[in-house]
A = this chain, B = another copy of it.
Amino acid sequence: MAYHLLQHDRDGAALLGRALTQAVEQIRHCALCNTFTENEVCETCLDPERDPTLLCVVETPTDQLMIEQTLTFKGLYFVLMGRLSPLDGIGPKDIQLEKLVSRATDGVVTEVVLATNFTNEGEATAHYISETMKARGLQVSRLARGVPVGGELEYVDAGTIARAMLDRRAT
C-alpha cells in the first residue's frame, strides 16, 4: 500500500503519514478501563448514564463493541488487552491484572462480569480473575455457556451440549 501511494498519490501518502503519526501520538489507553481513547478517560467511563456497580471484563475493544451492540449491558468495562497464555509467556502482569484489581476494588463496583472468550485461554483467564475477585469479596459472574440461539442439537458439539445440560435452567 505504501508503494502504491508513493507512486500514484504522493499527497495521499503525506496525509496518511501525518494521520498515523498523530494517532500514535494521541491515542492512548483509558486510565480507568484500558480501551483506546484520545483522552485521559474514555467516553464510556465518563458516561453518567452507565451503572458503575457493574464491571464487565473483556479481552479486546472488539469484544466490548460486540457486547455494546446487544444493548444488554449498562455497566462499565475493563479491557484486558489480551488473556493469560502461559505457553506464550503471557502472565498476569502482561494483561495488567493489578490495574483490574484496583479498578474493581474502588468501593463502587459490586459485580464483576467475566466476558473473556470461551477458548481454553479465555476460560483459564476467567477462572483466575474469578478467584482473585472473590478473595476480595466481590460478586463474580460469567456469561452463560450453552447452545447458541438458532442452534440444533444435531449440529452442536458434544462439549456444548454437555455444558447446556449441566447448566440447564428452571423455566
Interface size (A, Cβ < 8 Å)?
54
Separation in Å of the A6 CB from the closest CB of chain B? 33
Task: With both chains docked as a complex, state the minimum distance between the C-beta of A157 and any C-beta of chain B, in angstroms.
Answer: 7
Complexed CA–CA distance, A92 and B24 (Å): 63
- Verify if A162 is at the interface (C-beta below 8 Å from B): yes
Stoichiometry (number of copies): 2
CA A126 to CA B151, docked complex, whole Å: 14
Chain B minimum-CB-distance residue to A126: B171
Contact between chains at B166 and A72 (CB < 8 Å): yes
**Cβ-defined contact, B161 with A118, below 8 A:** no
Q: Which residues of B contact A71 (CB under 8 A)?
A: 162
**Interface on A for B, CB 8 Å cutoff?**
58-60, 62-63, 66-67, 69-73, 113-115, 117-119, 122, 126, 130, 134, 139-154, 156-171
